[in-house]
A and B are shown apart, each in its own frame.
Chain A
Amino acid sequence: MEQLIEQLKSQIIEALNFEDMTPADIDADAPLFGEGLGLDSIDALELIMLLDREYGIKLSDPKSGKAIFQSVRTMAEYIQSNRTK
């Protein structure tokens, strides 16, 4: 799980163009939206694309997003249970 979290942090930094940031700067348990990384709605779309592109996960239920994208750790847990590649 920890390896997946670190990989996911790097993928998020690349997908969202956080050029000043390293994986160590991201707290795996911090909120992704609002506080913490302070992501916005366009970033949310990029994360949905990232799950599809890198892990073959298509989110069909919009309501599930709130729980999945709570933090990097909740994203990683969802990926581990649902990845198709």
Chain B
Amino acid sequence: MRVTHQIEISPTSVVLDGQTIVVEAVGDAMLVELYRRYVCDYPKFFKMDTLSRLGFVAAEILLKETKVDAVILANRSASIKNDNDYLATISEGRYYPSPALFVYTLPNIVTGEIAIRRHVQGETSFYVLDKPDDLDPIIRATMSNDLQSSNLQTVLAGWVECSEPNRFNAKLQIIWNN
């Protein structure tokens, strides 16, 4: 396995293949800035929760030149930030549960958003793990699986975590199976 490209996003910085990308905004607003700069033609972005926005813009920047066969992501807090936003719509005497928030109350939705946008028809999976390193053996096992390896040449894999508003981090890589 070899890593050919990597992006890291925190609320205050974006680093692509070791090079810092200068951004003006911070936190959630920075994800919108990245969308406007690198994507622009996918209005569904604005309906996404923060976790999906994070994974989506990271994938869009990383996959400009590359097509991948699978998407394997993980984090520690699942979809807790959006779960809390959804809970707020049915709390404090109100009862207007938001359908738009409800559809993002699963962490694996972000893998689907990326797969739809990038026409990924292979495996898409999302794991809830203690720490980023725990994903490595899963990626290795997936890529060395005899049943899949003949068709699985490139994978988008990594960590996308968002536990609270304006608090997130992502590290995604393009990994080749040779």
Contacts and interface: CB of A to CB of B under 8 A. Distances in A.
A63 B100 CA distance: 22
A45 B43 contact: no
Interface residues of B, dominant DSSP? helix
A46 B46 contact: no
Contacts of B100: 15-17, 42-43, 45-46
Interface in B50-79: none
* Interface size bracket, A side: 10 to 19
A42 B96 contact: no
Give chain A's interface secondary structure class.
helix
B96 A53 contact: yes
Contact of A20 (B43, B97, B99, B103): B43
Interface in A15-45: 15-20, 42-43, 45
B43 A49 contact: no
Interface string B81-106: 00000000000000011111001000
Interface of B: 32, 43, 46-47, 96-100, 103
Interface of A: 15-20, 42-43, 45-46, 49, 52-53
